[in-house]
């Protein structure tokens, strides 16, 4: 679409140029256009005019002489015209040849460009393949990396470094690709410019054609003049026919060339379309590749971020939990101690009663004082009794020890949580006065 | 990481703080035990010679321990096993029947010494599951009771921490209404504290009054009531030799040895007035301690030898008074409670006295406490007389008068009262050895 627009623009420009050239030619030739056109029309319309036979008489001879004189004049004029026309045709041919040569060169240059582009595409393809291979290698690495993910952070950093390098390479490839693409686009632009030039040339050709037509018209104008001045003769007509034929030949040649050019144009268009398609496909592939690479990179980044986030969250969670646990532990302990205090007031009298009931007090133990330490198990069974502070009387100490032993199991709270407050305590045995 | 460490440090500090905040080890005061005997299982002794020797050892030991009121032996019928050696002990058996202690023993013949036996005995604390002691004796068959008492003594000492009086002797007087001569006969007996093994120290046609052991246990002082009056004699137990001390005119009775064994306090009754005197064995001098128109009698020395307590009716009712052990000492009334308090004797520790008290129910054995100045009646009988402490204060002995006169042993708290056998006749008075051999 763009190209078409461009070509239209080119056509416009070409037309302007052509007009300028045209004006110049008109200036050079200096013949009335309007006149020529009328003749041209007539000539073209009355393709073949039959020549009528006339009776010969004196007048006829005189007429014949006048006619001969006229013919001589006409011949001279014709020769001049022919000379002029030949010169013009020669000039035209030369110009056409030059144009054809240039076109040939241009086409060759374009072919060369095309080959270069193909080479560039191939290289690009190769790079792409390499990049693809690298991506696959990176993918492989990433998979392996995933396996090693729990391993050392150093490993992770190293891999990140590798990945970065790969990405750098990829970016390099991308840059190269872009450079190539730019080059290719530049080439395309060049091709377009060449095309524009070609169109201009065509325009010029058209202008030349127009000139030719003008010259034709002038010739015909001369003929017309002559016709107006005198009757047309068969020879004239024949010559005119020949002229017409020649012109037709030129027109045909021009048409053929136009056709050729058109075909060439078509070919060029197709080639460009093909190039465009290839370019688009390449772009698509490149895009896809980039997308994949980007996705892989993004995925990797996301994974890394996720890992870091997870670690951070875990750390935070740990700290929060520890703090929470500490607070809860403190609270629990306080509650427990509170509970233990109230349980003490309930259970101490019971323990006291049970031990006192078991204690056979020595009758002469007044003033004796022993401290025994007891360890119990969670069901209150006495595990150990030790004399923490002796009364000095072995018997008195033993009476207490036995009392504690016999009082086993001691009444303690059923609540196992409170056990820690009850698992070890002391008895103070005081010998009573008799 | 550093943050974590610091937080951990804070947590650790918190933990330490909370440990510091935690309760100190709580303490329960135990100040009121029960007054009862310690449950002890005395397992009949085993061994090849058990039947020949110490057949009733377990019974002797059991009785000894029971009389003190400190032990409550568990009957054999309740024993779950009958171990005779350390290997056979199963503590749970004794814990189940709530025996604090288990005593076991074996008696074996000694092969190279005919008539000799080896006695091995062990005491166990069944709750601590430990042996308390293990002893071994070599003895002949006639030493059976001595060995049994010795084992009982070992048990008592080890468990109570105090000495027992199981190996001590008593002296008592009896009257046999129809003696060998047809007339009434008066006998002075020495026997084991439990009444076993009585031996005649003196047979007399005169009534024998208030026998008193010398502190060294070699002599007995007593009063013989003759027609001319009561005379005081000191007789050596081992030889039977005796001598009369020089006493004033009138009736001299109730001799009491000073703790150092150098003096005798006694009562002299002349013309209806009785006073307390001291006789010195060193120089035969007599010191008059009290001089009162009413009766002062039954003197008894304090353990430190400084004071003498005596019975006096100078305050209308007979009560116990105290005086310094010197001439014309000032006296002060000691007992205040009850209708009457007589025949006082200091306890071995000197902080108490045993008296015969009348609290309205008759004559009973009472314990006077110098600190509380109160009297606690400990006997259940009401015709009591002649109450004495055992040498270690672990028991008391007294005579129960009446038609059927007998000797009774009391635990100091009176919970246990056991009658002991008397050799012959009607028992009149009794005294307990002061320092067992």
Chain B positions touching A371 (Cβ under 8 A) are 27
Who has greater pLDDT, B371 or A186? Answer: B371
Among A105-119, A134-148, A278-292, B297-311, name the one with the lowest average pLDDT.
A134-148
> Is B388 found in the same domain as B259?
yes
Instruction: Give A416's contacts (C-beta < 8 A, 6+ positions apart).
Output: A378
Q: Are B126 and B94 in contact (CB under 8 A)?
A: yes
Which pLDDT does position B262 carry in this prediction? Answer: 96
Q: From the list B35, B98, B100, which residue is nearest A361 (CB)?
A: B35
Among A207-221, A369-383, B188-202, B372-386, name the one with the lowest average pLDDT.
A207-221
> Is B182 found in the same domain as B88?
no
Chain A positions touching B19 (Cβ under 8 A) are none
Average pLDDT over residues B40-48: 92
Residues A403, A401: Cα–Cα separation, whole Å: 5
> Is B410 found in the same domain as B285?
yes
> Is B254 found in the same domain as B278?
yes
Which pLDDT does position B437 carry in this prediction? Answer: 67
Looking up residue B204, the CATH number of its domain turns out to be: 2.120.10.30
- Of B126, B160, B194, the residue at which a domain comes to its end is B160
> Is B309 found in the same domain as B228?
yes
In this predicted structure, the answer to whether residue A184 has a pLDDT above a threshold of 70 is: yes
Strand order in the sheet with B273-280: B251-257, B263-270, B273-280, B286-288
For A398-417, the DSSP string reads HHHHHHHHHHPSP---S-GG
Which pLDDT does position A57 carry in this prediction? Answer: 67
A421 vs B26: CB contact, 8 Å cut-off? Answer: yes
Average pLDDT over residues B270-293: 93
Which pLDDT does position A8 carry in this prediction? Answer: 59
Average pLDDT over residues B270-298: 93
B28 vs A355: CB contact, 8 Å cut-off? Answer: yes
A319 vs B3: CB contact, 8 Å cut-off? Answer: yes
In this predicted structure, the answer to whether residue B167 has a pLDDT above a threshold of 90 is: yes
Who has greater pLDDT, A317 or A46? Answer: A317
In this predicted structure, the answer to whether residue A2 has a pLDDT above a threshold of 50 is: no
Which pLDDT does position B1 carry in this prediction? Answer: 45
Q: Are B309 and B322 in contact (CB under 8 A)?
A: yes
The tens digit of pLDDT for each residue in B219-231 reads: 999 999 998 899 9
Select from A402, A403, A424 the residue whose CB has the most chain B CBs within 10 Å, as the one to mutate to test that interface.
A402
HSE-CB for A319 with a 13 A CA cutoff: 14
Chain A positions touching B99 (Cβ under 8 A) are none
CATH fold for domain A359-430:
3.30.1150
Residues B128, B145: Cα–Cα separation, whole Å: 30
Q: From the list B18, B33, B161, which residue is nearest A395 (CB)?
A: B161
Calculate the dihedral angle through the C-alpha atoms of A108, A111, A113, A119, rounding to the nearest 10 degrees: -140
Which pLDDT does position A434 carry in this prediction? Answer: 61
Which pLDDT does position B9 carry in this prediction? Answer: 45
CA distances from B161 to A17, A362, A391, B18, B38 (A): 145, 10, 12, 44, 13
Residues B437, B432: Cα–Cα separation, whole Å: 13
Q: How many CB atoms lie within 10 A of CB B257?
A: 24
Chain A positions touching B70 (Cβ under 8 A) are 362-363
Strand-pairing partners, residue B130, are B125
Which pLDDT does position B156 carry in this prediction? Answer: 95
Q: How many CB atoms lie within 10 A of CB B169?
A: 23
In this predicted structure, the answer to whether residue B273 has a pLDDT above a threshold of 70 is: yes
Which pLDDT does position A77 carry in this prediction? Answer: 81
Q: B322 is written with which tokens?
A: 């105290």
> Is B317 found in the same domain as B210?
yes
Instruction: Give A214's contacts (C-beta < 8 A, 6+ positions apart).
Output: A25, A26, A29, A31, A33, A36
A363 vs B70: CB contact, 8 Å cut-off? Answer: yes
Chain A positions touching B27 (Cβ under 8 A) are 371, 425-428
Chain B positions touching A428 (Cβ under 8 A) are 27-31
In this predicted structure, the answer to whether residue B11 has a pLDDT above a threshold of 80 is: no
The tens digit of pLDDT for each residue in B317-332 reads: 999 999 999 998 889 9
Q: From the list B4, B36, B162, which residue is nearest A360 (CB)?
A: B36
Question: Confidence band (pLDDT; 50, 70, 90) for A225?
Answer: confident
Which pLDDT does position A251 carry in this prediction? Answer: 79
> Is B330 found in the same domain as B190?
yes
Among B24-28, B61-65, B238-242, B333-337, name the one with the lowest average pLDDT.
B24-28
Question: Confidence band (pLDDT; 50, 70, 90) for B20?
Answer: very low
For chain A, the straight-line distance linking the first and the last C-alpha, in angstroms and rounded, comes to: 128
In this predicted structure, the answer to whether residue A385 has a pLDDT above a threshold of 80 is: yes
Instruction: Give B147's contacts (C-beta < 8 A, 6+ positions apart).
Output: B54, B57, B119, B137, B139
> Is B394 found in the same domain as B307?
yes
- Which residue of chain A comes nearest to B413, CA vs CA? A363
Which pLDDT does position A56 carry in this prediction? Answer: 53
Calculate the dihedral angle through the C-alpha atoms of B351, B356, B362, B368, rounding to the nearest 10 degrees: -10
Who has greater pLDDT, B118 or A78? Answer: B118
Which of B266, B268, B219 has its CA nearest to residue B243?
B219
Which pLDDT does position B10 carry in this prediction? Answer: 43
Which pLDDT does position A65 carry in this prediction? Answer: 77
Q: From the list A319, A329, A360, which residue is nearest B38 (CB)?
A: A360
Question: Confidence band (pLDDT; 50, 70, 90) for A254?
Answer: confident
Q: Are B380 and B366 in contact (CB under 8 A)?
A: no
Q: How many CB atoms lie within 10 A of CB B178?
A: 10
B27 vs A427: CB contact, 8 Å cut-off? Answer: yes
Chain B positions touching A401 (Cβ under 8 A) are 127-128
Who has greater pLDDT, A147 or A56? Answer: A147
For A43-77, the DSSP string reads HHHS---PPPP----HHHHHHHHHHHHHHHHHHHH
Which pLDDT does position B222 carry in this prediction? Answer: 97
Work out the angle between the directed axes of helices B2-21 and A234-358 (0-180°, nearest 10): 20
Domains held by chain B: number:
2
Residues A409, A380: Cα–Cα separation, whole Å: 5
- Of B160, B185, B220, the residue at which a domain comes to its end is B160
> Is B244 found in the same domain as B206?
yes
Q: Name the helix (H) or strand (E) containing B386.
A: strand B384-389
Calculate the dihedral angle through the C-alpha atoms of A237, A243, A249, A252, rounding to the nearest 10 degrees: -80
Q: How far is B1 from chain A (nearest CA, A)?
A: 9
- Which residue of chain A comes nearest to B415, CA vs CA? A363
Among A388-392, B138-142, B281-285, name the one with the lowest average pLDDT.
B138-142
Average pLDDT across chain A, whole number:
81
> Is B93 found in the same domain as B203?
no
3-state secondary structure A303-324: HHHHHHHHHHHHHHHHHHHHHH
In this predicted structure, the answer to whether residue A40 has a pLDDT above a threshold of 60 is: no
Residues B130, B312: Cα–Cα separation, whole Å: 54
In this predicted structure, the answer to whether residue A321 has a pLDDT above a threshold of 70 is: yes
Q: How far is B313 from chain A (nearest CA, A)?
A: 30
Q: How far is A344 from chain B (nearest CA, A)?
A: 9
Q: From the list B27, B127, B412, which residue is nearest A402 (CB)?
A: B127
Chain A positions touching B31 (Cβ under 8 A) are 356, 428-430, 432
Range of the domain at B306: 169-432
Q: How far is A415 from chain B (nearest CA, A)?
A: 17
Q: Are A384 and A375 in contact (CB under 8 A)?
A: yes
Which pLDDT does position B231 carry in this prediction? Answer: 95
Question: Confidence band (pLDDT; 50, 70, 90) for A91?
Answer: confident
Which pLDDT does position A147 carry in this prediction? Answer: 77
B36 vs A427: CB contact, 8 Å cut-off? Answer: no
Q: How many CB atoms lie within 10 A of CB A408?
A: 20
In this predicted structure, the answer to whether residue A366 has a pLDDT above a threshold of 50 is: yes
Q: From the list B14, B25, B412, which residue is nearest A426 (CB)?
A: B25
Among A148-162, B83-97, B412-426, name the one with the lowest average pLDDT.
A148-162
Question: Confidence band (pLDDT; 50, 70, 90) for B176?
Answer: very high
The tens digit of pLDDT for each residue in B137-163 reads: 999 888 889 999 999 999 999 998 889
> Is B129 found in the same domain as B72?
yes
In this predicted structure, the answer to whether residue A23 has a pLDDT above a threshold of 90 is: no
Calculate the dihedral angle through the C-alpha atoms of B216, B218, B223, B224, rounding to the nearest 10 degrees: 180
Question: Confidence band (pLDDT; 50, 70, 90) for B103?
Answer: very high
Strand order in the sheet with B296-301: B296-301, B307-312, B319-324, B331-333
Q: How far is A359 from chain B (nearest CA, A)?
A: 5
Chain B positions touching A423 (Cβ under 8 A) are none
Looking up residue B96, the CATH number of its domain turns out to be: 3.40.50.10070
A to B CB pairs, distance under 8 Å: 119
> Is B182 found in the same domain as B100?
no
Residues A315, A331: Cα–Cα separation, whole Å: 24
Q: B37 is written with which tokens?
A: 């005997």
Domain boundaries defined on chain A: 2-46+59-314, 359-430
Among A165-174, A411-420, B45-54, B403-412, name the one with the lowest average pLDDT.
B45-54
- Which residue of chain A comes nearest to B14, CA vs CA? A326
In this predicted structure, the answer to whether residue B213 has a pLDDT above a threshold of 70 is: yes
In this predicted structure, the answer to whether residue B106 has a pLDDT above a threshold of 70 is: yes
Instruction: Give B49's contacts (C-beta < 8 A, 6+ positions apart).
Output: B107, B108, B109, B117
Strand-pairing partners, residue B202, are B188
Most confident region among A100-104, A268-272, B300-304 by mean pLDDT: B300-304
Question: Confidence band (pLDDT; 50, 70, 90) for B6?
Answer: very low
Q: Are B353 and B309 in contact (CB under 8 A)?
A: yes
Helix, strand, coil % in chain A, rounded to nearest 5: 80, 5, 15
Average pLDDT over residues A344-366: 89
Q: A97 is written with which tokens?
A: 């040849």
Most confident region among A29-33, A210-214, B358-362 by mean pLDDT: B358-362
Instruction: Give B102's contacts (C-beta < 8 A, 6+ positions apart).
Output: B40, B41, B43, B83, B89, B94, B123, B124, B126
Average pLDDT over residues A45-56: 47
Strands B375-377 and B363-369, by their bridges, are: antiparallel
Q: How far is B353 from chain A (nearest CA, A)?
A: 14
Dihedral sign, CA of A283, A289, A294, A299? positive
Which pLDDT does position A75 carry in this prediction? Answer: 81
Question: Confidence band (pLDDT; 50, 70, 90) for A4?
Answer: low
For A108-176, the DSSP string reads HHHHHHHHHHHHHHHHHHHHHHHHHHHHHHHHHHHHHHHHTTTS-HHHHHHHHHHHHHHHHHHHHHHHH
Who has greater pLDDT, A79 or B171? Answer: B171
Q: Are B352 and A366 in contact (CB under 8 A)?
A: no
Q: B226 is written with which tokens?
A: 């003759």
In this predicted structure, the answer to whether residue B96 has a pLDDT above a threshold of 70 is: yes
Chain B positions touching A402 (Cβ under 8 A) are 100, 125, 127-128
């Amino acid at each position: 679409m763009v190209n078409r627009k461009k070509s239209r623009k080119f056509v416009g420009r070409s037309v302007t140029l052509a007009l300028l050239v045209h004006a110049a030619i008109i200036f050079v030739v200096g013949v009335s256009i309007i006149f020529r056109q009328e003749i041209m029309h007539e000539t073209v319309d009355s393709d073949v005019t039959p020549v009528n036979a006339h009776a010969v008489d004196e007048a006829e001879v005189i007429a014949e002489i006048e006619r001969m004189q006229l013919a001589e004049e006409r011949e001279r004029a014709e020769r001049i015209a022919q000379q002029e026309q030949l010169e013009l045709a020669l000039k035209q041919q030369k110009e056409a040849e030059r144009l054809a040569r240039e076109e040939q060169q241009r086409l060759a240059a374009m072919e060369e460009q095309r080959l270069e582009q193909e080479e560039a595409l191939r290289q690009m393809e190769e790079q792409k393949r390499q990049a693809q291979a690298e991506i696959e290698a990176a993918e492989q690495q990433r998979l392996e990396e995933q396996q090693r993910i729990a391993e050392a952070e150093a490993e992770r950093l190293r891999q990140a470094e590798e990945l970065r390098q790969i990405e750098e390479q990829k970016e390099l490839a991308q840059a190269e690709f872009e450079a190539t693409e730019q080059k290719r686009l530049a080439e395309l632009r060049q091709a377009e410019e060449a095309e524009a030039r070609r169109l201009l040339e065509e325009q010029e050709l058209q202008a030349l054609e127009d000139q030719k037509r003008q010259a034709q018209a002038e010739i015909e104008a001369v003929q017309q003049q002559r016709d107006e001045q005198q009757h047309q003769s068969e020879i004239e007509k024949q010559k005119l026919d020949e002229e017409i034929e020649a012109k037709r030949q030129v027109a045909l040649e021009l048409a053929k060339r136009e056709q050729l050019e058109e075909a060439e144009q078509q070919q060029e268009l197709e080639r460009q379309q093909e190039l465009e398609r290839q370019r688009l496909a390449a772009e698509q592939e490149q895009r896809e590749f980039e997308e994949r690479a980007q996705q892989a990179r993004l995925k990797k980044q996301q994974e890394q971020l996720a890992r870091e986030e997870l670690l951070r969250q875990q750390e935070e969670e740990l700290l929060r939990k520890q703090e929470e646990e500490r607070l809860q532990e403190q609270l629990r302990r306080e509650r427990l101690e509170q509970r233990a205090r109230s349980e003490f007031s309930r259970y101490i009298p019971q323990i006291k009663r049970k031990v006192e009931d078991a204690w056979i007090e020595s009758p002469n133990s007044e003033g004796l004082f022993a401290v025994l330490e007891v360890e119990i198990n969670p069901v209150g069974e006495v595990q150990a009794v030790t004399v923490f502070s002796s009364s000095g009387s072995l018997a008195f100490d033993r009476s207490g020890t036995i009392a504690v032993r016999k009082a086993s199991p001691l009444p303690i709270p059923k609540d196992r949580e409170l056990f820690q407050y009850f698992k070890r305590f002391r008895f103070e045995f005081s010998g009573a006065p008799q | 990481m550093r943050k974590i460490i610091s937080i951990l440090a804070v947590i650790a500090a918190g933990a330490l703080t909370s440990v510091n905040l935690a309760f100190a080890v709580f303490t329960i005061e135990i100040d009121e035990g029960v007054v009862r005997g310690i449950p002890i299982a005395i397992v009949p002794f085993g061994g090849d010679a058990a039947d020949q020797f110490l057949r009733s050892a377990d019974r002797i030991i059991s009785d000894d321990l029971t009389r003190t009121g400190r032990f409550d032996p568990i009957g054999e019928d309740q024993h779950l096993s009958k171990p005779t050696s350390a290997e056979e002990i199963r503590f749970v058996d004794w814990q189940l029947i709530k025996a604090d202690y288990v005593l076991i023993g074996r008696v074996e013949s000694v092969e190279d010494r005919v008539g000799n036996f080896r006695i091995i005995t062990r005491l166990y604390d069944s709750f601590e599951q430990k042996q308390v002691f293990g002893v071994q004796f070599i003895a002949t068959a006639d030493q059976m009771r001595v060995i049994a008492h010795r084992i009982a003594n070992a048990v008592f000492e080890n468990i109570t921490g105090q000495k027992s009086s199981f190996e001590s002797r008593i002296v008592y007087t009896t009257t046999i209404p129809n003696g060998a001569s047809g007339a009434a006969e008066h006998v002075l007996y020495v026997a084991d504290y439990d009444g076993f093994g009585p031996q005649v120290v003196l047979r007399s046609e005169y009534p024998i009054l208030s026998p008193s052991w010398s502190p060294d246990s070699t002599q007995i002082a007593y009063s013989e009531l003759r027609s001319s009056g009561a005379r005081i004699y000191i007789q050596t137990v081992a030889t039977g030799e005796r001598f009369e001390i020089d006493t004033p005119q009138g009736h001299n009775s109730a001799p009491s040895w000073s703790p150092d064994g150098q003096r005798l306090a006694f009562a002299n009754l002349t013309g209806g007035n009785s006073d307390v005197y001291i006789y010195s064995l060193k120089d035969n001098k007599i010191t008059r301690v009290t001089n009162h128109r009413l009766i002062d009698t039954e003197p008894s020395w304090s353990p430190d030898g400084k004071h003498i307590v005596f019975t006096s009716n100078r305050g209308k009712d007979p009560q116990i008074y105290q005086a310094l052990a010197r001439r014309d000492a000032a006296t002060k009334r000691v007992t205040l409670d009850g209708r009457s308090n007589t025949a006082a004797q200091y306890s071995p520790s000197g902080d108490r006295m045993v008296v015969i008290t009348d609290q309205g129910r008759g004559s009973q054995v009472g314990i006077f406490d110098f600190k509380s100045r109160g009297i606690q009646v400990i006997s259940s009988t009401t015709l009591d007389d002649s109450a004495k402490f055992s040498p270690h204060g672990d028991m008391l002995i007294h005579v129960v008068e009446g038609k059927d006169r007998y000797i009774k042993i009391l635990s100091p708290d009176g919970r246990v009262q056991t009658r002991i056998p008397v050799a012959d006749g009607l028992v009149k008075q009794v005294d307990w050895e002061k320092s067992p051999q």
